[in-house]
Amino acid sequence: MPDGSNVIVDRVRHSEDDNVLERFRQGDLDAFEAIFRAHQRAVYGWILRMVRDAAAADDLTVETFWRIYQARARFDPARGLAPWARRIATRLALDWLRTQRPAAELAADLAAPPSGDPAVSAEIGGKVAQAFARLPPKLRAAAVLAVVEEQPHKEIAAALGISVTAVKVRVFRALRMLRKDLERQGITP
């Protein structure tokens, strides 16, 4: 049975977190810096999984925190910072995806498992990447996060600002579109 000291430490840490969040909400730059240090890596990783471009993820992470700071007065400390930051980051990533031309960079991440012929595997991986790139951004984001990154539907729903059911629908539609696209290219998924 745990001793009471851990509970006390957790309560103190939680109250310190609440204090930092409230100070941030009031415009305290030191509190904002503490929040940035605590959440930067997670926000960057979330964005990178969506956009698949490290330079863009860096820029979008900075933009995310800039928007977080600008909207600090609307922040509700009781609801937590991570879901709010993820939602802002997701919107920025979706906007970025809408403005980009489909790129074949996805090929390395989405390549099919190696078969006997590396040339065939590379060709299939390229076609899968192109099919993903042709998906509408909303469907692509849901599909990459659910299928490739294996994120829980609940987490995707919170980030996209939609219901879990809507995430499932988007993933289903994306997979159906991918299947049709690959079949048109002569690949049977």
Helix axes 81-99, 153-160, angle to 10 degrees: 70
pLDDT digits (tens, 9 = 90+) for 99-114: 886 544 444 444 445 4
Reading the block at residue 133, the tokens are 């790139």
Q: Please determine, for residue 63, whether its predicted confidence score (pLDDT) is greater than 60.
A: yes
Q: Please determine, for residue 137, whether its predicted confidence score (pLDDT) is greater than 80.
A: yes
Q: What is the pTM of this model?
A: 0.63
Helix axes 4-25, 29-51, angle to 10 degrees: 90
What beta strand segments (E) does 9-142 contain? none
pLDDT digits (tens, 9 = 90+) for 147-158: 887 888 988 888
Tokens 């048109």: give the residue. Answer: 184
Q: What is the mean pLDDT of residues 113-138?
A: 73
As a whole number of angstroms, the distance between CA 84 and CA 89 comes to 9
DSSP letter, residue 144: I
Long-range CB contacts for residues 168-172, cutoff 8 Å, separation at least 24: 170/138, 170/139, 170/142, 170/143, 171/142, 171/143, 171/146, 171/147
Q: What percent of the chain has pLDDT over 90?
A: 31
Domains and CATH numbers, the chain: 1-100 (1.10.1740.10), 102-189 (1.10.10.10)
